[in-house]
Structure formats: C-alpha cells, structure tokens
Amino acid sequence: MNVTSKGRYALRVMLELASRQDGEIVSLKTIADKHDISMKYLETIVGSLKRASLLESTRGKDGGYKLSRPAADYSVGEILRCLEDNLAPVSCIKSGSINCEKAGECITVPMWKELDDITNAYLDTVSLKDLLTGDKWRKN
C-alpha cells in the first residue's frame, strides 16, 4: 500500500476541519496556508471529498468547508478510498477484487488479498476523532 500525497493531504484537511469547534467553516486559503498545500491541488482534493459527501461547503466571502458529520463518524479508510486509486499492496488487486489474468495459477494471490482485507479493515477502525485525541494508541 502506498498512500499518495492526495490521500495524506485529504487526511490533513479532514483533521483540520475536525479540530474546529462547532462545525466552524474554514476557507481553502486558511487550510492551504497552514498546511503548505497549493490551492489548485487542494481544490482537487476537496472536490473529491465533497463529491463523496464527506464535506459541506458554503459560498461567498465567508465561505469555506466543514465536516458533514461528527469526527468520530469518519474512518481513515473511507477518506483514503475516496482519493486513492488503490490501497491494495499489489496492483493485481483493486477495490477488493482480483484483476489478474494469472490469478488462477498465482499461489501468492490469497496472501495479497488477505493483506488487503486486513489493511482496509484496520483503516476502517481508525476515526478522525481517534487521530485527534490519540487515545486509541495510549497505554493505560
């Protein structure tokens, strides 16, 4: 699995919005400046997040973006999958399906498929709230 800059920046955007109080609307310029991301690149990323209904937008002078639901209701897996073409560890697996003409004779396919399933299942257990608080990884 190789998470691209689009996926990493999408997480930054979502975390920035999740860290705001009471659904505060945040401009793209504020996010771009704070995280040193070009506006053009950020527009592409935010467009994908909005199409996936992960964000809400407001137009106008005081316009910007906010989360469409509470931070605890977003998984890292959901966010990454809407930006990344493929999170699988190998190219012959895409979106959980095996896409290889040699899959029938390849003895490694089941291992790669299982690793893909484990990775996606794990990413689906980590929420934006988990990342913000860090509680999930603290030892008691």
For the segment 7-18, what is each residue's pLDDT rounded down to a tens digit? Answer: 999 999 999 999
| pTM of this structure | 0.87
Residue 78 to residue 124: CA distance in whole angstroms: 7
Q: Which residue did the predictor score with more confidence, 97 or 24? A: 24
Q: Which domains does the chain have, with CATH numbers?
A: 5-135 (1.10.10.10)
Q: What is the pLDDT of residue 99?
A: 77
Identify which of 6, 65, 76, 85 has the alpha carbon closest to the alpha carbon of residue 41.
6
Residue with tokens 């003409």: 101
Q: What does the pLDDT look like over 50-89, one tens digit per residue?
A: 999 999 999 988 889 999 999 999 999 999 999 987 788 8
